[in-house]
Amino acid sequence: MEWIRVFSSVSEAEKQFEPGKPRLLIIGKERICVLRTIGGAYRAFQDACTHNGESLSKGHINYRNEIICPWHNYCFDSQTGREIQGRSSDLVTYPVKADSDGFFIGI
């Protein structure tokens, strides 16, 4: 795994990610959905829904910080990537770290 610095500081990341609003980041060839949860934690996972491929960054989160696909409402745990009802494959998740050196996603 390689840590990719996405932002130079945590405060820069906080400005880019509104709590509860997923956002697409493209890192190399990877399309990654990044989410700042309502509680302030960061989550990163593949952007494509495993059911039908729609971009999860176009979706929304619920009160449990689960990402909801905008097409067919498939629901995924934003921390583990697990599809809540077991109807499709789980998402690939990526570790996130934020420290004095910046905001990083592990690829």
Q: Does residue 39 contact residue 47 with C-beta atoms inside 8 Å? A: no
Q: What angle do CA 54, 77, 1 make, to 5 degrees?
A: 85
Give the residue extent of every domain in the chain: 3-106
Class of the domain covering 3-106: mainly beta
pTM, two decimals, is: 0.92
In the chain, pLDDT over 70 holds for what percent of residues?
100
Average pLDDT, the chain: 94
How many beta carbons lie within 10 A of that of residue 45, not counting itself?
A: 23
Residue 92 above 90 pLDDT? yes
For residue 84, what pLDDT band results from cuts at 50, 70 and 90?
A: very high
Residues paired with residue 32 on neighbouring β-strands, in sequence order: 25, 46
Q: What is the mean pLDDT of residues 40-56?
A: 96
Name the E strands within the chain: 3-7, 23-27, 30-36, 42-46, 60-61, 66-68, 75-77, 93-94, 96-99, 102-106
* CA atoms 26, 30, 36, 42: torsion sign: negative
User: Left, alpha or beta for 103 (phi > 0: left; psi -120 to 50: alpha)?
Assistant: beta
